Structure 1
Amino acid sequence: MGTIIKSVQAFQVTWVENEPPGRRTAIVRVTTQDGLVGYGEASPMLGGEHSLGIVRDFAGSLAGLDALDQAVICDRLLHKYVKLGPEGAVTGALAALDIALWDIKGKYFDLPIYKLLGGAWRTELPFYSSVGRNAGRTVDETVRAVEERLKSERPAAVKIRLDGDRTRQDHDIPGDIAKAKAVRKLVGDDFSLAFDANNQYSVGGAIRVGRALEELGYIWFEEPVQHYNVRAMGEVAQRLDITVSAAEQSYTMQAVVDMINAGVRMVQPDIIKMGGITGLMQCAAICFAHGVELVPHQTQPTIAHAANLHLLATLMHNTKPAEFSDPSTRMHVAFANPPIPENGMFKVPSGPGLGLVVHDGELQRRRS
């Protein structure tokens, strides 16, 4: 029993005319000898080209292998390319491959991925609206941006992202706190809010902002200090009462464990950065063993989003809503059923594999 890999293709997709390479989507398509096709997606940093280059390097070696052996295939490739990091490009490449192979596995058995992972605790998931680019907005502009998302999406929670210059540490703490206060006033005392600093504070600055967020009733404080300073992240987490989250920029299970051991109690690895569905399921087991919340980071609207929903559906302790980042419909042209919110919820796709119906001709036409 099995389904043999025929080819692996890695390419960028350009969605709008003259789109720069860094805005394109990194796609991996795996085709089997019996005609099954699986789709995966790599991290979009710089258009994912660095990860696609690695996929192109190993693509030929996968022909003739059983697509159902996805864990063995990905582990072998991780250790083949381990000296390149392994964090970043390598794990992004393997995440895309892993998702594509899970897509094939689901189609082979004619089951949605969540069934193959052990079943869903729920097939409709609440989400939070992740509202970005607020470092460059005034207080009033930030409030208006949040207000627009509340009206159009009906989220269960809202996260304010700064998305500022990480080299300008503690640049405008009073202004950041003012934005947090204004958004709290907009939504009322009982609505769930989170604040993403995007690594812009010193330890002292993070504690100052974190105390203000505690007073305002925010439920988590995301990446207050530089992600690579694990000790500092842990210090902030242990000194504040508000839940401090991190690890969206952790690319291996070991890096996530380091963050947990430092004192972080909510981790946010990204399905297209650290090992795909297999990697996040391993993280789920680690988090369950350590009593830590797993709230995956997720910004992509189609393939990665569908994969993330399948994973979230299987988590018994799914403590926070799914992330819905700044919305974009530019990729919908290539999908008959892109994941979109309905009545404040995302439905987990129920079709085989990822459950996405892909217009492959559109992907081919827009291939870069």
Structure 2
Amino acid sequence: MVTMTHTVPPAAQPADATAPDRIAWLRLSSVTLPLATPISDAKVLTGRQKPMTEVALLFVELATEQGHEGIGFSYSKRAGGPGQFAHAREIADDLIGEDPSDIGRIWTKLVWAGASVGRSGLATQAIAAFDIALWDLKAKRAGLPLAKLLGAHRDSVRCYNTSGGFLHTPTEQVLENATASLDAGIGGIKIKVGHPDGKADLARLTAVREHIGDDVPLMVDANQQWDRRTAQRLGRAMEEFDLVWIEEPLDAYDAQGHAALAASLDTPIATGEMLASVAEHMELIRHGACDVVQPDAPRIGGITPFLKLAALAEHHHLPLAPHFAMEIHLHLAAAYPLEPWVEHFDWLEPLFNERQEIRDGRMLLPTRPGLGFTLSDRARAWTVATHESGTRP
């Protein structure tokens, strides 16, 4: 455990928005968020993974010579958190002295700093935290919420809850969780499927649909559990439930299988959350393998590559439903031209002082500049390692 003293940063001084500025200081924080209950999905039931008990997060805090600040984060579920922190620590010094507005050039510089480990996966997920912090800083400097800086199409986004429907949760509790989510103003419900016996999935799905009624948007997520034959069979059996989508029915890299499934079923196929680059998403889109694209900004390298993917998805008229990290994805979804979804997870809420406002099935865009969140005292207490570069103004 690293003991830290937190000092309030000096307020940013008024400055010409066009005046040159430089990154003077940054801090990396490795934070381990404990989960109240071990989390299980289909991959746990088949022995591929162990129940998830914590989330590892990499936070980046930046400050410039003129006193502007930004914060961003990436994350890892199960293994990988220490690796992200280690890679970020290696490349952190490369940001000192850079103009924080040159986000695209900085992203490329950081990628090539660690080019031998590739342009996807752990390396770019570490870069994502820097990239997101730079976009947060840029929006704060402009005095705008990030979505407004990007060019928002709406001030709220449809939202659905996932955290109440995992496979470790008994069906009766899933029903209670669904009621609580809808009472809180959340617009849709997603439940996990992928039991070894597909009949258990259908029974669970039947119970949820009967409980919430026919008018509430309902999704299912198989977490890559099925083979092609099983996905076809269960996908057809699920048609009667009028699902918004079936998520990750097959291995994340099985573009041809997803394409065949999307062509054969009336229910839309959603996938993409496990992919770690724009190039991997392009392969899905090229094959027509998804009806709904589900990128994760921290996983694909940050907001800079996310915007490239969003433009590609719009060109193909694909709905967008970013995965996890609603604190970031709310802004990116609000700036997407086609009506999107954002995923409500309450797991990360203890890390932040702010809460997302939800009303009438939609998550409201915060009016605070930037991403609109600050780290809580609990996040500081869960910090297990830090690294600083440069000198704080």
TM-score (norm 2): 0.81
Are 1:156 and 2:176 matched, yes or no? no
Separation of aligned partners in 2, 1:12 and 1:47: 11
**Aligned match of 1:136 in 156, 168, 178?**
168
Could you tell me whether the CA contact under 8 Å between 1:154 and 1:344 is conserved in 2? Answer: yes
Map 1:192-271 to 2 at 5 A: 192-263=217-288, 264-271=290-297
Higher RCO structure, 1 or 2 (CA under 8 Å, sep 6+): 2
User: How far is 1:116 from its partner?
Assistant: 2.1
**Aligned match of 1:99 in 132, 138, 142?**
132
Q: Structure 1: give runs of 5+ residues left out of the alignment.
A: 165-169
1:324 aligned partner: 344
Query: For 1:135-162, what per-residue CA distance to the aligned partner results, in whole angstroms no more than 9, with x for missing partners?
Result: 33444343333233333x2321111124
Greater Cα offset, 191-200 or 24-33: 24-33
User: How far is 1:262 from its partner?
Assistant: 2.1
The root-mean-square deviation of aligned C-alpha atoms, in Å, is: 2.6
User: What is the aligned length?
Assistant: 350
**Aligned match of 1:273 in 282, 286, 299?**
299
SS in structure 1 at match of 2:238: helix
* 1:252 maps to amino acid: S
Are 1:338 and 2:371 matched, yes or no? no
Q: Which has the higher strand share?
A: 2
Could you tell me whether the CA contact under 8 Å between 1:106 and 1:352 is conserved in 2? Answer: yes
2:178 aligned partner: 146
Separation of aligned partners in 1, 2:254 and 2:215: 33
SS in structure 2 at match of 1:13: strand
User: How far is 1:362 from its partner?
Assistant: 6.0
Could you tell me whether the CA contact under 8 Å between 1:184 and 1:216 is conserved in 2? Answer: yes
Could you tell me whether the CA contact under 8 Å between 1:13 and 1:25 is conserved in 2? Answer: yes
Separation of aligned partners in 2, 1:175 and 1:26: 37
SS in structure 1 at match of 2:299: coil
Query: For 1:223-268, what per-residue CA distance to the aligned partner results, in whole angstroms no more than 9, with x for missing partners?
Result: 0011122222222222222100111011211111101122222110
Could you tell me whether the CA contact under 8 Å between 2:144 and 2:370 is conserved in 1? Answer: yes
Greater Cα offset, 91-100 or 232-241: 232-241
Are 1:351 and 2:389 matched, yes or no? no
SS in structure 2 at match of 1:72: helix
1:314 aligned partner: 335
2:387 aligned partner: none
1:167 aligned partner: none
Separation of aligned partners in 1, 2:283 and 2:34: 40
1:51 aligned partner: 84
1:81 aligned partner: 114
SS in structure 2 at match of 1:43: strand
* 1:107 maps to amino acid: K
* 1:322 maps to amino acid: V
Question: Percent identity of the aligned residues?
Answer: 30
C-alpha distance 350-140 of structure 1, shift in aligned 2 (>3 A):
closer
Q: Which has the higher helix share?
A: 1
Separation of aligned partners in 2, 1:240 and 1:77: 42
Q: Structure 2: give runs of 5+ residues left out of the alignment.
A: 1-18, 38-51, 385-393
C-alpha distance 357-11 of structure 1, shift in aligned 2 (>3 A):
closer
SS in structure 2 at match of 1:108: helix
